[in-house]
Amino acid sequence: MPALTEIGEIGLEYQGQEYRLRPSLAAMARIGTPAEIVEVFGLVLGAPPEPTGNPVLDRPRWRVWGREQFRAALSVLHACCDDDLSPLIGWTTERMTYRPGAMPAANITVLARELLRHGVIGDVPTDPRQPKRGKFSPEFHARDFAALAMAHLGLSEAEAWQMTMTSFILAMRAKFPPPETPAKDETPSEEAHDATMAWLAAVNEKRAAAA
């Protein structure tokens, strides 16, 4: 079965082996605690530190940031796949030395960004009828969304945990569509009509008196 790219799945093939990466709620929970998930999200999708203007200070800061971002990206890919991705994305030795796999390092970060978008915030078009999202939250509680999926969508626990945030949002929109914005009634009310007629009568009286 092909990967369901619409909800965030990514299909890869290497040396005859097929890999499927799914940014499910369960996968997001495997990244770490609710706070750590948000930290990884910000690190992988974030920008490097602002330059100070001093290359001597900036270069080591950027190198440290790049290593942290790459390690975070690796953790995302591992969390989203049930198979061993070492041949593709590499592995870390007992001495904490990274051994690269077949995939370029830049591609690993790109894939991690895509997985996190579908796994944490949901990659869906904005619906103007939907209420605006709330303030930034320092934690992502995957279990809360799994509970909502079970309660409102009638899914089993296993099915709920396999949803991505993209599929969760789309399913909730289909289950509970927002009300259509009613067309504005241009017909004046009875009170407004009476007030207008009274004003018009007063104007006519003044015109008649002036004549």
Domain boundaries, the chain: 5-129+136-175
Query: Which band of pLDDT confidence, cut at 50, 70 and 90, is reported for residue 126?
Result: confident
Question: Model confidence over 77-88: pLDDT tens digits?
Answer: 999 999 999 999
Per the CB < 8 A criterion, the answer to whether 127 and 178 are in contact is yes
User: Is pLDDT of 199 > 60?
Assistant: no
Among 4-8, 28-32, 76-80, 107-111, the minimum mean pLDDT is found in 4-8
pTM: 0.80
103: exposed, middle or buried (Cβ count in 10 Å: 0-12, 13-18, 19+): middle
Query: Which band of pLDDT confidence, cut at 50, 70 and 90, is reported for residue 3?
Result: confident
